[in-house]
Amino acid sequence: MGRTAKSRSRTENPRLLLVDGFAGPGRYETGEDGSPLIMLKALLEHSDFENLTSVEFIYLFIESDKARVEHLKEELDAIETPDNVTCHVEEGTFEDKFGEIVDEIHEEDSSLIPTFAFVDPFGYSFTPMSLAGKFLDFPRCEALFFLPMVDIVRFVGREKQDDAMNSLFGTDRWKEAIDLEGDERRAFLLSLFEDQLREGDRVDHVRSFEIRTDRGREYRLVFASEHEKGLGLMKRAMWSVDPSTGVRYIAARKKDGQEVLFTSDPQTADTGPLLDHLREHFGTDWFTIEEAEKTTLLDTSFLHDGHLKNRTLLPARKDELIDVDNSGRRGFPAGTKLRFFD
């Protein structure tokens, strides 16, 4: 996003806003960095950061608890930041503080600067879809939501949950899940949340990632963006955590009880489902490599720039499952045409 802000800006000082809507104290009692420190260090330690000195990075950390606010400020003061990086800590709720910014810009009929917002509430009742909708209406804005699915699925039928659920989903259609059970209820609620993010063409791309603790508690990270490049980068991040399927992370613990933060599977990703998707999508008609890349990116969990050519199309060609017209060039260069044999 920093590179994009730099390349597209018509001003001398392109800006990027990064928001943590439920920031917390900055560091957990066990010593691990909290999301504000992770977000800040991800920028400062990035290999390309030295090439983005012309971009102004503005961090906005919002936290409703006064003690956590003070502790977060102390943690941030201990980190040396260059002149093009500023951190602001606001005491209050995400809905109020960020909502004021969004409402003011809407009233001025202006546009929000490129923004990434991480919405990680302490409880689902503080995740207003109405605010997410207004925020994502702006171009060049992306969001990552952390959903406690285990609690949402459990409490959807409980009394006095209407306000919280209406706020979360931006609709009362969640009530349709009350008569559902188990995986069916979970799938319906997750799909409803994703559909509501897309409502009114706010964003074109929504992708979720499952997180399951060693105690079986399920959470979801839901990413929303209007940009294909943003989707591609998020999918790559997901595959870096789950090299087998790119859709889930299951926590594990060593024998000494220490948690393994990122598990990995030595097995190569099975791209058979990707080949099946391409066959179903294109049938026996000719299609270009660009069309194959686009449907891989938008319609599957696989990487268009990592799984398609060498792991899927090349073996299919060797097995004589596809016909390839690349004008005598090696591999699958731009303009290559392909089709499946009958």
**Dihedral angle over CA of 208, 209, 214, 217, nearest 10:** -10
Average pLDDT on 159-172 reads 87
Does the domain at 2-260 match CATH 3.40.640.10? Answer given as no
Average pLDDT on 188-212 reads 88
Handedness of CA 157, 93, 72, 104 (dihedral sign): positive
Whether 1 shows a pLDDT value over 70: the answer reads yes
In sequence order, the β-bridge partners of residue 15 are 56
Average pLDDT on 128-157 reads 84
∠ CA(179), CA(180), CA(182), 5° rounding? 145
Tokens of 341: 């044999």
Question: What is the rounded CA–CA span in Å between residue 161 and residue 319?
Answer: 55
What digits encode the pLDDT tens for the residues 99-130?
888 888 877 767 788 899 998 866 666 566 87
Average pLDDT on 251-271 reads 50
Tokens of 123: 């409880």
Average pLDDT on 190-217 reads 86
Around 286, how many Cα atoms within 13 Å sit in the side-chain half-sphere? Answer: 7
Band of pLDDT at residue 217, cut at 50, 70 and 90? confident
Residue 127: per-residue pLDDT: 63
Pick from 83-87, 104-108, 184-188, 233-237: least confident: 104-108
Average pLDDT on 249-277 reads 61
Band of pLDDT at residue 268, cut at 50, 70 and 90? low
* Domain extent listing, the chain: 2-260, 272-340
Average pLDDT on 235-241 reads 90
Band of pLDDT at residue 287, cut at 50, 70 and 90? very high
Residue 9: per-residue pLDDT: 66
Is there a contact between 63 and 24 (Cβ–Cβ < 8 Å)? yes
- Going through 226-314 in order, the beta strands assigned E by DSSP cover 248-250, 252-253, 259-260, 287-288
Question: What is the rounded CA–CA span in Å between residue 304 and residue 290?
Answer: 10
Average pLDDT on 189-203 reads 87
The helix (H) or strand (E) run that includes residue 29 is none
Whether 144 shows a pLDDT value over 60: the answer reads yes
Whether 201 shows a pLDDT value over 80: the answer reads no
Residue 253: per-residue pLDDT: 43
Question: What is the rounded CA–CA span in Å between residue 22 and residue 4?
Answer: 26
Tokens of 239: 């595959």
Residue 132: per-residue pLDDT: 79
Whether 313 shows a pLDDT value over 90: the answer reads yes
Average pLDDT on 178-195 reads 93
When mean pLDDT is compared over 83-97, 142-156, 212-226, 284-298, the highest value belongs to: 284-298
Average pLDDT on 158-178 reads 89
Average pLDDT on 34-42 reads 95
Give the strand pairing for 337-340 and 287-288: antiparallel
Listed in sequence order, the residues at least 6 apart from 328 whose beta carbon sits closer than 8 Å to its beta carbon are none
Whether 261 shows a pLDDT value over 60: the answer reads no
